[in-house]
Structure 1
Amino acid sequence: MRFFYTTLFLFIVFSCSNTSTKKSKLIDFVPEKTSLIIKTSNLESLKNSLHNSDFLQKLSKTTSYENLEKKLEGLSLLKPKNDLLICFSEDNNDSLQYTIITKHHNLLFKIDSLKNYTEESLIYKNKTITKSTLNNNTFYSTLIDSTFFASSSKTIIDDVFNNKNIDSDLEKIYTTTSNDKTTSIIIKPNNPFIKSFFINDSLNINSFTNYIAVDIDINQDDILINGITKASDSTETLINIFKGTIPQENLTQNITPSNSDGFMSFTFDDYKTFKTNLSKFTQKDSITNTMSLFDNIIEVGVIYEDKNKAVILNSLDVIATKDALLSEQNNIDTYRQIDIYSFSKPDVFANSFSPLISFKNANKYCVLDHFFVFAESTEILQNIIANYQNKTTLNERSYFKDIKQQLTDASSLITVVNPSNLKDVLEKNGLNAIGKLDKYNASAIQFIYDTNFAHVNGIIKKSKIKAILNSVSEELNIKLEHEILNTPQFVTNHITKQKEIVVQDITNNLYLISNTGKILWKKQLQGPVLGTINQIDIYKNGRLQLAFATPNRVYVLDRNGNDVSPFPAKFNDNITQPLSVFDYDKNKNYRLLVTQGKYTLMYDVNAKLVKGFTFKSANNTIICQPKHFRIGSKDFISFKTQNKLYILNRTGKARVTPKTSNTYSKEPIFLYQNKFTTTTDKGDLITIDTKGNTAIQNLNLSENHSIETTSKTLVTLSENKLTIKNKSVELDYGNYSKPRIFYLNDKIYVTVTDLQTQKTYLYDSQAKLLSNFPVYGNSIIDMDNVDKDKNLEFITKGDANSILLYQIN
């Protein structure tokens, strides 16, 4: 249940007319007093994302979280296929109640073999309600048409049958949420959870806005927030003070010392319009005798440093703003050739900008270019001056530059906090006893006013130490619920052209994971995947599918993990080798070759047998995956049994017949130097040319050996001796995986992993170990450039249930 309460607090740090109509959408069933809604389109993906999020795992240790986690225990029984809403509300006794809404299907509610679970049916007034109890926690559920509705409150269940009103404002803002992100949250004021997402205690969510709807993308080291906030057209919500103004570029970070606790900045293009709006909100007259100080100001900022604060005015006309301060030029100090003056109106900012600013002790100021800085102490002014002159402000820090990429340059209101203030905001909302947040150097939320609503952007990001040249850095450690079954591999995202990760666990669930660690989907398969997964373009439109075999199925899955008709194809007899995919002429007329013992079956993409392929049976069990090779204009299909090697043409007829017979190893067949190449069971290298001439070479390999080749590079591993292009290296004695060759960026890379000591080695074509290897790894690796930078990455198994993504810098 951990994911429910964790998601609930994602937004903390950042942070109506009714019509009677027929209910058809999930949002139509939301209880009237709901103050917070969590929406997810993929519950399994959400659960795994939360489990892998470093930041959210810290939140999960709080008492408030644990209490609600226990209350929501019964929700683990749900297996939704579509959108699911989790609604929170308080009843008349101020007790927290939850409601779950999703579309019903036959496998939604699984209680088979469940311990400590009881249920009974309550039938009255032509209604049927199920009362369920799991470990002493009781909840109620019912079906309304095709919608499953469950709640911790029986009263809420009763009300859903009677309430025919739909909140049109809620429905409108609900439509702005996306199905492509990990989750979405809709929050209303006066909710029992989130009180504020600002440092300033005078700013609270109840008076800030009405509805907030955000999409949240959860990755291992960051949480990205995008959405909107909408308030009624009135003077009762703070967000509307920006109505009629145009957001300006926020520059407070350019003067904020990097050792500060953070800052807040708000902007406007016309101070008079802004002041009029603010006066209506506060319901007090503006201070006319100080108006001239702000006439040419387009940004007001507050810098936080422990309990001290500094107010920043960003002026469009420095001379005019200085003129407004002519009576305030009593020099009291000079620091680094910057004059510091006394200021006789220390409460002017609180009086003019409350509740955005509550600071009343700004009795000193200085001028730095177009910034006018007001503070209580000389020390904070000196710190600001020194950092500004030394170019050690927040804007110069790499961690701020990282989060700035997620934010817009111009915003109506923005706040940026350091780890200490981030923790304070969380504790303000009841999340006490949080672990260390020291690596979250900068977190931010901003609001960009636009007509009658505001855009919302936010980010919480774990800062990374800048990679050293030639270093190997661990970028992701992705944990699954169950142990990993096979070797993780990269596949191509045809939309972004970047790489994603596909892997299977021991319960035969197949996962697609983004290169940022987000689990995109999980699919239950009939059995373990045989070999590696192929990608094909079955519709010839640039969209790629995953094609592979399990012992009794051939699957073709689309980008979202859905079966592509007419697949999966079912087989009564076991499939004994990985699925072979051939594209003879590179025109996407794919052929899928299925191996069953000594038999081969050739299919097209309609799962129909190809009648022109005449080969039916080998002389014995086929011991390696069939492969397709092209030499000149001719195609060759090759595979072998223990004592016979087959080289066929497209139709399955013999194209090349080896002139000698041998007893073969189970090593694959390769095309090396335009010759069919493999090994005998004794470790001799066998090469066969297109005329059937056979050559045997003694490479002094043991019976326990492995080979891998490209067209020009031969790699062998015999016991602990690795040979690359006739250059050998002695490895420590161990249990080594098969070697793999990668040709990337015009370079050859060779890798092996010692499964006994969990060490992964990477060599160049000259058998030289790359710097900073070996690294920790528990399987053979897959290697590629997974994103848009120039660095190569590789994946491997880590612990039993984890995947490690490394970057070679």
Structure 2
Amino acid sequence: MRPLFLGLLFILLLNCSNKNSKPTALIDFAPENAAIIIKTSSFESLKNTISNNDFLQKISESNSYKNLEQSLNTLSLLKSNNDVLVCFSKDTKGNLQYTAITKYDSLLFKTDSIKNYSKETLKYKNKTIVKSSFNNQSTYSTNIDSTFLSSNSKDILESLFNKPTASDELKKMYSTINNNKTCSIIVKTDSLFINQFLPVKQIALNGFTNYIALDVDANQNEIILNGITKATDSLESVINIFKNTIPQENQTQNVTPSNSDGFMSFTFNNFKTFESNLVAFNKRDSTYVSSKLFNDIIEVGVIYEDKETAIVINSIDYIATKDALIGNENIISTYREIDILEFNDPFIFSKTFKPFISFNNANLYCVIDNFFVFAESRELLQNIIANYQNKTTFSERSYFKNIKNHLSDESSLLCVYSPSSLNNIINQNFEESSDYKLGRYNTSALQFIYDNNFAHVNGIIKKSKSTALLNSVSEEWNIKLEADILNEPQFVTNHITKQKEIVVQDINNNLYLISNRGKVLWKKQLRGAVLGDINQIDIYKNGKLQLCFATPYRVYVIDRNGKDVAPFPGKFNDQITQPLSVFDYDKKKNYRLLVTQRRNVLMYDVRAKIVNGFTFKSANGVIISQPKHFRIGSKDYISFKTKDRLYVLDRVGRTRVQPKTNSSYSNQPIFLYNNQFTTTTKAGDLISVNTNGNISLKNLGLSENHSLSTTSKTLVALNENKLTIKSKKSELDFGDYSEPKIFYINDKIYVSITDKQSHKVYLFDSLSKSIANFPVYGNSSITLDNIDRDRNLEFITKGESNSIILYQIN
């Protein structure tokens, strides 16, 4: 029984009746007040399909479903191999009435072995009606000219004995349905059913059109709707506002953020025609004059985000529409190089486009290519701008592209729903508030395409596959700090959750710890700017991690609550000139902290005491690279360089490797590449020193202004706009690029660079192939890692001057 009830409930949700001749077809027996008529050529197949549909299973726990289940109890006994119509209506008290209609068959009901079933025969004007009782529910049935009729209302059944044939309009709609689909539905909208189907609450189905006929094709993970709708030839119905217009390509999805609640788009080929229909529909005075702002538009979109709304107008004449905004040129702010301006006529949209728009607070706007976007808050406009630039709009999402296969590119009216907005539509129809857990239904859609005196209807509710979002890049959050950012944000580990958090510093030297959900956990002012990356150590060897780093005159160790760990910070009179190096030779948490001061390297322990056994005194010049620790075999090596000498020391500061010749070195770091100490010369040659001091030079064709990064086996070089990864070159646009960074995660190598001039973050694999959906917006090098318990990677980068952005690679 349950599968059938799910199907009937589904029909109620969709919301998406005569001449005195003798009834002959099944449709002729439909009750005059029938609001919804379902037709199926295989009743059992319909029940089976519905019972396996994931979406209908999810909504089956609602109170509306449970009430329907109780009302339709006896209908579960129906067994038919012929076409079946199930009609729904409501009486004047709002009680649900249903009627089943099919060709009579002696095997329609097999009740002999059914418990809790009884029946009695009633008489009505020499006609026979059988009253069946099953689980305390009553159903009335009869046969009329070899047609079997069953209803929970005796009054309906009695009315069918003398019912004339169906109206011509209903027959026309009935003739359009397809017998090869799971089922078909005819909806007569002037009924007592609540029928909210658009995100615009003032447009209900009963004021939108008169009839809708839909073919429904359903399987386990999707429900696809195709059909037509028709209204009487007047402007009393919303659908006829599109009369004498030609649908255009919907483009609102190109600017709608994928993290929004969905959007509505309506189009027309000629605004003046559309406007005259609106004037007639709203019964405005014929002298009404619209704004020149809309003269050259072909589409209006409405974006919904939580309780906020944005309005999009799509112009075919950018200059004319821009000119119409003269007088609205006061710039409030600039976001990602796009101006956000004041708009002085926020009522114009509801005044012009009622009933589609009721929003009256659009007092700000921005221009994104040919789209003019109006909203109440800067935050909403900024979110739209960011997602447009990052290509994380609906149009870029694979789940939206998948449903587009079932929709027309051009439509008069298109509504696209996120899981939350779909949930709200269901609740509005069911008059209750439930969470149906529709998270996997990333995008659902309903569209109307106006034709000559009718409109085509398409709709889809589809569950996304788990791989549907593969490689998409989403902006998870974007937070602003109190001042501009000084350095590059990076990830650190929360030793309690084992997840990642973010540390970053602003120009006021405030250090922030931020959760991976974007919450600032604490802020601490430092004495100076952090040099290089922040390390983490377990100073007490108890599993609790502290932040460890240097500023120009301090060495800090800070616990996860933002408190200094005694005896730190260590204070220095002479300037620290390189980032703090932290060594843990034997992985036993016996940390050594190396402080570089121009020519000198000082080694401290975690008690902030000098390690006396470290004998290195002074370099021959200013040290130009951060000291690094390498292990080859069982031996430890400490390496750094000046502009003309490479030092390779042992643990206690004695020379372990003496290069056999000296060179003029670049300012690039030293790496252990192929078990050799590797860096570059000032001339751009790759120079490698083995453990015997032998030197090899390789001409990589690098200019003096280059960058280098390596792992033990992978070498990456950036020279002007040419990126080389393992000898494979990629030519990029000319720009101002950050140094390349290599990440080795889940047995895969990623290489990132950022063009700070064009604000683009690039990510490549080890074969120099760009990762899908890159570049994205960003203004600094990134840190890439898995920061939470899911399988997706995330990265952090600088956004605007005072903001950081967390992205997720899905």
TM-score range, shorter chain: 0.5 to 0.7
Deviation sequence 1:549-582 (CA, Å, 0-9, x none): xxxxxxxxxxxxxxxxxxxxxxxxxxxxxxxxxx
Matched, 1:197 2:197: yes
Q: Distance in 2 between matches of 1:467 and 1:322?
A: 39
Paired position in structure 2 for 1:122: 122
Q: What amino acid is the match of 2:438? A: L
SS in 2 for 1:463: coil
Q: What amino acid is the match of 2:223? A: I
More displaced 10-residue stretch of structure 1: 249-258 or 160-169:
160-169
Q: What amino acid is the match of 1:91? A: D
Taking a change above 3 Å as real, the CA distance of residues 223 and 317 of structure 1, as seen in their structure-2 partners, is: same
Give 1:125 deviation, angstroms: 2.1
Q: Distance in 1 between matches of 2:434 and 2:328?
A: 46
Give 1:165 deviation, angstroms: 4.3
Matched, 1:456 2:457: yes
Q: Distance in 2 between matches of 1:170 and 1:364?
A: 48
Q: Distance in 2 between matches of 1:202 and 1:92?
A: 24
Paired position in structure 2 for 1:396: 396
Identity %: 58
Give 1:14 deviation, angstroms: 7.5
Deviation sequence 1:596-650 (CA, Å, 0-9, x none): xxxxxxxxxxxxxxxxxxxxxxxxxxxxxxxxxxxxxxxxxxxxxxxxxxxxxxx
Q: Distance in 1 between matches of 2:451 and 2:292?
A: 27
Taking a change above 3 Å as real, the CA distance of residues 289 and 366 of structure 1, as seen in their structure-2 partners, is: farther
SS in 1 for 2:155: helix
Q: Given that residues 340 and 365 in structure 2 are in contact (C-alpha distance below 8 angstroms), is that contact kept between their aligned partners in structure 1? A: yes
Q: Distance in 2 between matches of 1:84 and 1:354?
A: 41
Q: Given that residues 4 and 51 in structure 2 are in contact (C-alpha distance below 8 angstroms), is that contact kept between their aligned partners in structure 1? A: no
Q: Given that residues 246 and 449 in structure 1 are in contact (C-alpha distance below 8 angstroms), is that contact kept between their aligned partners in structure 2? A: yes
Paired position in structure 2 for 1:446: 447
SS in 1 for 2:161: helix
Q: What amino acid is the match of 1:285? A: D
Give 1:449 deviation, angstroms: 0.4
Give 1:81 deviation, angstroms: 1.3
Q: Distance in 1 between matches of 2:192 and 2:328?
A: 47
Q: Given that residues 397 and 469 in structure 2 are in contact (C-alpha distance below 8 angstroms), is that contact kept between their aligned partners in structure 1? A: no
**For 1:3-402, what aligned pairs fall within 5 Å after superposition?**
3-10=3-10, 12=13, 15=16, 18-285=18-285, 288=288, 290-402=290-402
SS in 2 for 1:47: helix
Give 1:191 deviation, angstroms: 3.2
Taking a change above 3 Å as real, the CA distance of residues 124 and 296 of structure 1, as seen in their structure-2 partners, is: closer
Taking a change above 3 Å as real, the CA distance of residues 393 and 168 of structure 1, as seen in their structure-2 partners, is: same
Q: Distance in 2 between matches of 1:329 and 1:215?
A: 50
Give 1:143 deviation, angstroms: 0.5
Per the normalisation by structure 2, the TM-score is 0.56
**For 1:591-670, what aligned pairs fall within 5 Å after superposition?**
none
Q: Distance in 1 between matches of 2:395 and 2:105?
A: 52
Larger Rg: 2
Q: Distance in 2 between matches of 1:413 and 1:208?
A: 12
Q: What amino acid is the match of 1:453? A: F
Give 1:19 deviation, angstroms: 2.1
**For 1:430-509, what aligned pairs fall within 5 Å after superposition?**
430=430, 432-466=433-467
Taking a change above 3 Å as real, the CA distance of residues 24 and 416 of structure 1, as seen in their structure-2 partners, is: same
Taking a change above 3 Å as real, the CA distance of residues 149 and 468 of structure 1, as seen in their structure-2 partners, is: closer
Give 1:427 deviation, angstroms: 0.3
Q: CA RMSD in A?
A: 1.7
Q: Distance in 2 between matches of 1:283 and 1:444?
A: 30
Give 1:206 deviation, angstroms: 1.4
Deviation sequence 1:413-440 (CA, Å, 0-9, x none): 0010111111001000115434311111
Q: Distance in 1 between matches of 2:218 and 2:461?
A: 10
Q: Given that residues 414 and 448 in structure 2 are in contact (C-alpha distance below 8 angstroms), is that contact kept between their aligned partners in structure 1? A: yes
Q: Distance in 2 between matches of 1:435 and 1:304?
A: 20
Paired position in structure 1 for 2:714: none
Q: Given that residues 26 and 101 in structure 1 are in contact (C-alpha distance below 8 angstroms), is that contact kept between their aligned partners in structure 2? A: yes
Paired position in structure 1 for 2:647: none
Give 1:468 deviation, angstroms: 11
Q: Given that residues 260 and 305 in structure 2 are in contact (C-alpha distance below 8 angstroms), is that contact kept between their aligned partners in structure 1? A: yes
Q: Distance in 2 between matches of 1:124 and 1:243?
A: 48
Taking a change above 3 Å as real, the CA distance of residues 204 and 124 of structure 1, as seen in their structure-2 partners, is: closer
Q: Distance in 1 between matches of 2:264 and 2:111?
A: 50
SS in 1 for 2:291: helix
SS in 2 for 1:360: coil
Taking a change above 3 Å as real, the CA distance of residues 465 and 320 of structure 1, as seen in their structure-2 partners, is: same
Q: Given that residues 7 and 47 in structure 2 are in contact (C-alpha distance below 8 angstroms), is that contact kept between their aligned partners in structure 1? A: no
Q: Given that residues 268 and 274 in structure 1 are in contact (C-alpha distance below 8 angstroms), is that contact kept between their aligned partners in structure 2? A: yes
Give 1:291 deviation, angstroms: 2.9
Q: Given that residues 223 and 460 in structure 2 are in contact (C-alpha distance below 8 angstroms), is that contact kept between their aligned partners in structure 1? A: yes
SS in 1 for 2:35: strand
Give 1:283 deviation, angstroms: 1.1
Q: Given that residues 398 and 469 in structure 2 are in contact (C-alpha distance below 8 angstroms), is that contact kept between their aligned partners in structure 1? A: no
Give 1:156 deviation, angstroms: 1.0
Q: Distance in 1 between matches of 2:117 and 2:455?
A: 46
Give 1:264 deviation, angstroms: 0.4
Deviation sequence 1:336-387 (CA, Å, 0-9, x none): 1111110010011011111101110000111111100000001111111111
**For 1:391-790, what aligned pairs fall within 5 Å after superposition?**
391-430=391-430, 432-466=433-467
SS in 2 for 1:92: coil
Q: What amino acid is the match of 2:129? A: I
Q: What amino acid is the match of 1:129? A: I
Deviation sequence 1:190-224 (CA, Å, 0-9, x none): 43444211112111111101001101111111110
Give 1:13 deviation, angstroms: 5.7
Q: What amino acid is the match of 1:273? A: T
Q: What amino acid is the match of 1:438? A: G
Q: Distance in 2 between matches of 1:135 and 1:302?
A: 49
Q: Distance in 2 between matches of 1:287 and 1:253?
A: 35
SS in 2 for 1:239: helix
Q: Distance in 2 between matches of 1:108 and 1:14?
A: 29
Q: Distance in 2 between matches of 1:424 and 1:286?
A: 38
Q: Distance in 1 between matches of 2:124 and 2:459?
A: 48
Give 1:306 deviation, angstroms: 0.6
Give 1:278 deviation, angstroms: 1.3
Q: Distance in 1 between matches of 2:337 and 2:262?
A: 26
Give 1:7 deviation, angstroms: 2.5
Q: Given that residues 349 and 360 in structure 2 are in contact (C-alpha distance below 8 angstroms), is that contact kept between their aligned partners in structure 1? A: yes
Give 1:332 deviation, angstroms: 1.6
Give 1:121 deviation, angstroms: 1.1
Taking a change above 3 Å as real, the CA distance of residues 158 and 274 of structure 1, as seen in their structure-2 partners, is: same
Q: What amino acid is the match of 1:98? A: Y
Q: What amino acid is the match of 2:228? A: I
Give 1:408 deviation, angstroms: 0.6
Q: Given that residues 38 and 87 in structure 1 are in contact (C-alpha distance below 8 angstroms), is that contact kept between their aligned partners in structure 2? A: yes
Q: Given that residues 102 and 148 in structure 2 are in contact (C-alpha distance below 8 angstroms), is that contact kept between their aligned partners in structure 1? A: yes
SS in 2 for 1:406: coil
Q: Given that residues 14 and 458 in structure 1 are in contact (C-alpha distance below 8 angstroms), is that contact kept between their aligned partners in structure 2? A: no
Q: Given that residues 215 and 227 in structure 1 are in contact (C-alpha distance below 8 angstroms), is that contact kept between their aligned partners in structure 2? A: yes
Give 1:315 deviation, angstroms: 0.4
Give 1:3 deviation, angstroms: 3.5
SS in 1 for 2:414: strand
Q: Distance in 1 between matches of 2:148 and 2:465?
A: 44
Aligned residues: 468
Taking a change above 3 Å as real, the CA distance of residues 165 and 105 of structure 1, as seen in their structure-2 partners, is: closer
Give 1:287 deviation, angstroms: 8.3
Q: What amino acid is the match of 2:436? A: G
Give 1:258 deviation, angstroms: 1.3
Q: Distance in 1 between matches of 2:229 and 2:378?
A: 39
Q: What amino acid is the match of 2:400? A: F
Give 1:180 deviation, angstroms: 0.7
